[in-house]
Amino acid sequence: MIRLIALLTVGLAAFAPAGLAQEEKGASFAERHEEGLKWANFMVLAAGLGYLIGKNAGPLFDARSRKIRRAMIEASDARKEAEARAAEVDQRLANLEAEIAALREESQKEAQAETERLARQTEGEIAKIQAHAEQEIAAAGKAARMELRRYSAHLAVGLAEGKIRARMTPEAEDALVESFVRDLEHPSSRAQTT
């Protein structure tokens, strides 16, 4: 950049007096001298500006280029990081779907296990209730049979008593009393018969 500015300055300095000479052939020496000074001032100014621009523009442009490169590298790194984050989010989403499916499967297994446990528990409770009912039925049947036996015995006794009273006449009563008294008098003969 500095070389380009230096070349332009030298070129202007070389061609400017030749151009002035051709344009002003009829001009006076003072005018030409003044015009030459103006061009010399211009050349000095252009050279000074060229030097300052060359001196400061190179580092400025280099710094700007470095800054732009750094910004591009940072942007590239940021893009890569964003892509990595996006890939991680996609991976998490994919894993999330798998985790949700696993949770659903696990909850279905737990629900099925709970249903089976409740079914077993219900079956156990039903078996207990049936056993208790059977015991109560058996106890009620036994109590009913005992009550029926008592009632039958009571009826039998009542019927026997009724038959005995119907058959009992005063002569039969006397015969029974006499037989009883005889047995009391001879207990040994009674013991032998039994």
Q: Digits of tens for pLDDT over the chain (194 positions)?
A: 556 555 555 665 555 555 545 454 556 888 888 888 898 899 889 888 888 887 887 778 888 889 999 999 999 999 999 999 998 888 888 788 888 888 899 999 999 999 999 999 999 999 999 999 999 999 989 998 999 889 988 988 888 888 888 877 888 888 888 888 888 887 665 555 55
Cα distances (Å, whole numbers) of residue 128 to 82, 119, 123, 154: 66, 14, 9, 38
pLDDT reported for residue 40: 86
**Is residue 169 classed as helix, strand or coil in its secondary structure?**
coil
Concatenating the DSSP letter of every residue in 6-30 gives: HHHHHHHHHHHHHHHHHHTTTS-HH
pLDDT reported for residue 171: 85
pLDDT reported for residue 2: 55
| Structure tokens, 38 | 């103006």
pLDDT reported for residue 173: 80
